[in-house]
Amino acid sequence: MKTFLTALVLTFSMSIFAQVEAPQPSPNSNTTQMVGLSEVSIAYSRPSAKGRAVFGNLVPYNKRWRTGANENTIITFSTDVEIGEQALEAGSYAVYSTPNKESWDVFFYEDTDNWGLPKTWNEDAVVAMVNVPVKSLNHMVETLSIDLGALQMDKAHLQISWEKTMVEVPISFPTDDLVMESVNAIMSGPSANDYFDSAIYYLNANKDLNKAEEWMEKGMAMLEVKPFWMQRQQSLIYAANDKKDKAIETAKASLAGAKKAGNSDYIKMNEDSLKEWNAK
CATH number for the domain including 221? 1.25.40
Look at residue 155 and tell me whether its pLDDT is greater than 90: yes
Predicted local confidence at residue 186, as pLDDT:
77
Contact in structure between 108 and 126 (CB atoms under 8 Å) = yes
| pLDDT average, residue stretch 208-219 | 94
Look at residue 9 and tell me whether its pLDDT is greater than 70: no
Asked if 133 and 245 sit in the same domain, the reply is no
Asked if 109 and 216 sit in the same domain, the reply is no
Name residue 43's beta-bridge partners.
30, 74
Predicted local confidence at residue 15, as pLDDT:
53
Predicted local confidence at residue 265, as pLDDT:
96
Asked if 157 and 224 sit in the same domain, the reply is no
Residue 24: pLDDT band with limits 50, 70, 90: confident
Asked if 138 and 236 sit in the same domain, the reply is no
Residue 272: pLDDT band with limits 50, 70, 90: very high
Asked if 216 and 241 sit in the same domain, the reply is yes
Predicted local confidence at residue 182, as pLDDT:
82
Tally of structural domains, the chain: 2
Predicted local confidence at residue 181, as pLDDT:
85
**Mean pLDDT, all residues of the chain:** 91
Predicted local confidence at residue 279, as pLDDT:
67
3-state secondary structure of 141: strand
Predicted local confidence at residue 116, as pLDDT:
83
Asked if 207 and 119 sit in the same domain, the reply is no
Look at residue 213 and tell me whether its pLDDT is greater than 70: yes
User: What percentage of the chain carries pLDDT values higher than 70?
Assistant: 92
Predicted local confidence at residue 114, as pLDDT:
87
| pLDDT average, residue stretch 184-204 | 87
Q: Classify residue 109: in a domain, yes or no.
A: yes
Per-residue CA distances from 121 to 59, 60, 63, 71 (Å): 18, 18, 12, 16
Predicted local confidence at residue 13, as pLDDT:
52
List of residues 6+ apart from 192 with CB closer than 8 A: 219, 220, 222, 223
Asked if 103 and 225 sit in the same domain, the reply is no
Asked if 54 and 163 sit in the same domain, the reply is yes
Q: Classify residue 268: in a domain, yes or no.
A: yes
Range of the domain at 34: 24-172
As separate numbers, helices (DSSP H) first and strands (DSSP E) second, the chain gives: 7, 10
Asked if 146 and 200 sit in the same domain, the reply is no
Predicted local confidence at residue 58, as pLDDT:
95
- Strand pairing class (38-45; 126-133): unpaired
Residue 5: pLDDT band with limits 50, 70, 90: low
Q: How many C-beta atoms surround the C-beta of residue 152 within 10 A? A: 12
Asked if 52 and 102 sit in the same domain, the reply is yes
Asked if 243 and 122 sit in the same domain, the reply is no
pTM score over 0.85: no
Residue 14: pLDDT band with limits 50, 70, 90: low
Residue 18: pLDDT band with limits 50, 70, 90: low
